[in-house]
Amino acid sequence: MDRDVKISALNVNFYYGSTLTLKSISLEILRKRVTALIGPSGCGKSTFIRLLNRMNDLVPGARVEGQILLDGFDIYHPRTDVVSLRRRVGMVFQKPNPFPKSIFDNLAYGLTIGGVRDKQFIENKIIDSLKKAALYNEVKDRLHDNALMLSGGQQQRLCIARCLVVEPEVILFDEPAASLDPISTRKIEELILELKDEYTIVIVTHNMQQAARVSDFTAFMYLGELIEYGDTERIFTVPKEKMTEEYLSGKFG
């Protein structure tokens, strides 16, 4: 196997009530690569990414069919421990959502809920993660200030750092720059490119240029279906499907 698969989806259907919102999605996400999901609003890309850490469990009336394998194990198996799944598959949301606590407490949260008590360990881990998230220099003197005092871009990098603290294997980014200015967006993109050496990354974006800039592979979705999936470069230069070409050239969406 030259393809090092981290996550594979096999014929995944997703029902919201009685509406089928994802139709037979099959897709392989490779280890330590950036995979982008693109498509117009309502295409199901956010729904799909939220299946990967079972965030859709919270949605009443939601039902999943098919299999999603993480390192070969079905994450929807009845015996799967959702808590440990979510520690392996972290998530960064569309709107920065730090807790209304201090920067330090935000970062320590993932560790203390896991039962870590060693203060020195927590502090080292926090500093490590802040450095990885390129936020350390901006906040090192005010770790005990409220996180909501930070700018939007800083808050989002804090959320990324908070996610890194628990050492996930996969990081899901659900339109991480949708509410940010261009400069903050660029910082987030640079960060994603740095993180891919260590983590498997899946990013949802409706900004096609962003997908082209950060991803190795791109999946184009439309109305709950996976239309085309492949190398980002190939998708953006010689798409096989007519629909992909039309979307990328701005004919709809």
Partner 1 sequence: MSRQTPSKTGPYTAGRRQAVRASDLTQAMGFLFLGACIAFALFFLGTILYFVIVRGAPAISWEFLTSVPRRAMTQGGVAPAIVGTFYLTLGAIAFALPLGLACAIYLTEYSPKTILVNIIRLSIANLAGIPSIVFGLFGFAVFVKVFGFGVSILSGSLTLGIMALPGIIAASQEAIMAVPQSYKEASLALGATHWQTIARVVLPSSLPGILTGVILNVGRVAGETAAILFTAATFYTRGYPDSIFSEVMALPYHIYALMTEGTHPESQTLIAYGSSLILLSLVLAVSALAIILRQRQRRVYGS
To the nearest whole angstrom, how small is the minimum distance from the Cβ of residue 60 to partner 1? 7
By CB under 8 A, name the one of 14, 93, 222, 236 that touches partner 1: 93
Taking CB under 8 A as the criterion, the residue among 39, 44, 90, 176 binding partner 1 is: 90
Q: Does 84 bind partner 1 (CB under 8 A)?
A: yes
- Which CB sits closer to partner 1, 42 or 114? 114
- Region of 55-63, 127-135, 203-211, 243-251 interacting with partner 1 (CB under 8 A): 55-63
Selected binder of partner 1 within 76, 109, 138, 152 (CB under 8 A): 109
> Any contact of residue 80 with partner 1 (CB under 8 A)?
no
The least distance separating partner 1 from the CB of residue 181, rounded to whole angstroms, comes to 19
- Give me the least distance between CB of 79 and partner 1, in Å please: 17
Tell me which residues in 151-210 interact with partner 1 (CB under 8 A): 159, 162-163, 166
Residue 204 burial (10 A CB sphere; 0-12, 13-18, 19+): buried
The interaxial angle of helices 152-165 and 103-112, nearest 10 deg, is: 20
Handedness of CA 85, 89, 93, 97 (dihedral sign): positive
End-to-end CA distance of the chain: 37
- Nearest CA to 129 out of 110, 107, 111, 114 is that of 107
Site residues (CB under 8 A) for partner 1? 53, 55, 58, 60, 83-84, 86-87, 90-91, 93, 95, 97-101, 109-110, 113-114, 146, 148, 159, 162-163, 166
